[in-house]
Structure 1
Amino acid sequence: MTGPLPESALGIGWRPQICGLIDQLDGLDFCEVIAESLSRDGRAADAVRVPDELEALRARGTAVVPHGISLSLGGAEPVQEARVDHLSACARAVAAPLVSEHIAFVRAGGLEAGHLLPVPRSRDALDALTANIARTRAALEVPLAVENIATLFDWPDDDFTESEFLAEIVERTGVYLLLDIANVYANARNRGRDPHTELARLPTERIAYCHVAGGHESGGRYHDTHLHPLPPEVLALVTEFVHDHPVPLMLERDGNFPPAYELLDELDALANAAARAPITATARAGLR
């Protein structure tokens, strides 16, 4: 399957705190920017302001993917038009090949959770999710990919397994899947399941790209934090998965940023796990 990004692409989550390092990367195919971090441009009602560093990166040929965190696609209520319009405006501003969001809900009855919450894998929830994805796609000029999230609990009496639920979403809507391999690992580990088996069950025919991130164990639970180095177990999953499913891969790091050379080592580890050419940095020796 040909997706919006080259199947051998490597990327990183663009964050202002590491934009100077990202600017020095050679061979970076794409980056992902949090859509809600791009503010409205007061000169035009339907435009957003792109940071100069991100615009320079895009101008050099690095694809930029807006990644939403607040649409609440899995909510019982219809997605809010203003939020969809903002995501669409972000895509236009960076000439994005696609946009992405989460299979989750973040609000209900006017209350904001401030966190990505798991959607019950029920038929009613699937109907609501399908409707919200359709509403969102109708307002976008580029494809949409939806991401599986890490969850610390399951709703009781689910009608579907996670793999069945994701397959139903893809089949009903034609949406792309943003497969978070680290989330598959976290969910399997916390439920006492084999992550390799869980990964093999997921629908692969519509994968747009994959997230890979670090985490740590606390209180007997593994937490997908995006604040820690990539664990060897997640890299092993990457190696196994891309052997049969060559897909774009992206390193996620949202905080607790290490020294530049350590972040470069993580990018190297991801490239090595996928048997791909590494991303290099201009004057790497000076980044230590």
Structure 2
Amino acid sequence: MPERPDASAHLGAGIGYRLDLREEILGAAGRVEVVEVMADNYLFRPERRNELAALRERLPIVLHGLDLSVGSAERPNPDYLGEVRRLCRLTAAPYYSDHLAVTRVRGVSLGHLTPVWYGRSNLSAAIDNVNAVQDCLGIPLVLENITADLTIPGAEMTEGEFFRELVRATGCGMLLDVTNIEVNSLNRGLDPADILRSFPLESVVQVHLSGGVEAGGRMIDSHSAPISERSWSLYADLLRRAAARVVIVERDADFDDGAGIMREVSRAGAMLAAARAGAPVSP
């Protein structure tokens, strides 16, 4: 079993690598300390690997994926996993992150991050899947909490308990998406602080921050807007409780205000640095 990611090995604050933001990212040396690359944009596409190799010369890379489907009953697709391993080696990734979710059932892609049923049988399957991924990659797997409109009925534990058991059994880490907590709390009438505290915060390696839109009384995790003050406050609460090593600002649309997005990276980084220095953290 790979060792749990070391939260003291600091990589800092960065942003999800998008071609629309490439010039801003490369021109923000010092403020952008690390980039997160969406692995699925490069898997099975060897013609794009020179691009990643060049990027790796400029900035550390962490890889983030969408389709391991560790919450499925079946094992991750071996061809997909082999491509992930090649990409991890190319980028010298310290770990690989994906979601605690189901994206495939009997080999059929669902095209969506579907929530896991929080039962003992699913936990056993997830443990086996995480161990198989870590054995193949030779580096730790770090799993992200997702947005979900409901908990699948008949659950035998909470999401937080499921994460805790999975981390304990496999040594994997956690990618805590602060904005996903905000979305779930608003849409489901839950207390975001309670959700936050339910997770194994001692295992948080990386943090995601993004902005969504509200429509019809619901919040949509669109990654297309500035980070809300609710998310900043929740991020501050997290940093008082957890020793994260990376924080990534996500933006997938509406890139017009590149300078504003970079200011968000700087704000996230300043808060992370304050927490690491033992100083008071405020949003």
| Residue 188, structure 1, aligned to residue 192, structure 2 | no
Task: Identify the match of residue 267 of structure 2 among 248, 266, 269.
Answer: 269
- CA distance in structure 1 between the aligned counterparts of 2:228 and 2:11, rounded to whole angstroms: 22
1:179 deviates by: 1.1
- Greater share of helix: 2
- CA distance in structure 2 between the aligned counterparts of 1:233 and 1:59, rounded to whole angstroms: 36
Q: Which moved more, 1:191-200 or 1:262-271?
A: 262-271
| Residue 25, structure 1, aligned to residue 28, structure 2 | yes
- Please give the residue correspondences for 1:192-203 in structure 2 after superposition, counting only pairs within 5 Å: 192-203=189-200
SS in 1 for 2:201: coil
Cα deviation code 1:52-98 (max 9, x no counterpart): 3x4333213x2211111011111112111011111111100111111
SS in 1 for 2:248: strand
Cα deviation code 1:206-231 (max 9, x no counterpart): 21111111112222222211111100
Q: Identify which of structures 1 and 2 has the higher relative contact order when contacts are C-alpha pairs closer than 8 Å and 6+ apart.
A: 2
1:178 deviates by: 1.0
| Residue 9, structure 1, aligned to residue 6, structure 2 | no
Q: Which moved more, 1:73-82 or 1:259-268?
A: 259-268
Quick one: which amino acid aligns to residue 33 of structure 1?
Answer: V
Task: Identify the match of residue 38 of structure 2 among 31, 34, 37.
Answer: 34
- Please give the residue correspondences for 1:113-262 in structure 2 after superposition, counting only pairs within 5 Å: 113-247=110-244, 248-262=246-260
**Which runs of 4 or more aligned residues in structure 1 lie more than 6 Å from their structure 2 counterparts after TM superposition?**
none
Quick one: which amino acid aligns to residue 15 of structure 1?
Answer: R
Gaps of 5+ in 2: 276-283
Q: Equivalent residue for 1:281?
A: none
Q: Equivalent residue for 1:81?
A: 78
SS in 2 for 1:208: strand
Q: Percent identity?
A: 32
Q: How many residues align?
A: 270
- CA distance in structure 2 between the aligned counterparts of 1:150 and 1:103, rounded to whole angstroms: 11
Task: Quote the RMSD (CA, aligned, Å).
Answer: 2.1
Q: Which moved more, 1:144-153 or 1:1-10?
A: 1-10
Quick one: which amino acid aligns to residue 55 of structure 1?
Answer: A
Quick one: which amino acid aligns to residue 254 of structure 1?
Answer: D
- CA distance in structure 2 between the aligned counterparts of 1:276 and 1:223, rounded to whole angstroms: 30
Gaps of 5+ in 1: 43-47, 278-288
1:262 deviates by: 1.9
Q: Which moved more, 1:173-182 or 1:215-224?
A: 215-224
User: Does the 8 Å CA contact 2:43/2:87 hold for their aligned counterparts?
Assistant: no
SS in 1 for 2:130: helix
Quick one: which amino acid aligns to residue 30 of structure 1?
Answer: V
For normalisation by structure 2, the TM-score amounts to 0.88
- CA distance in structure 2 between the aligned counterparts of 1:2 and 1:165, rounded to whole angstroms: 19
Q: Equivalent residue for 1:50?
A: 49
Q: Which moved more, 1:218-227 or 1:159-168?
A: 218-227
1:256 deviates by: 2.2
1:103 deviates by: 0.4
1:109 deviates by: 3.1
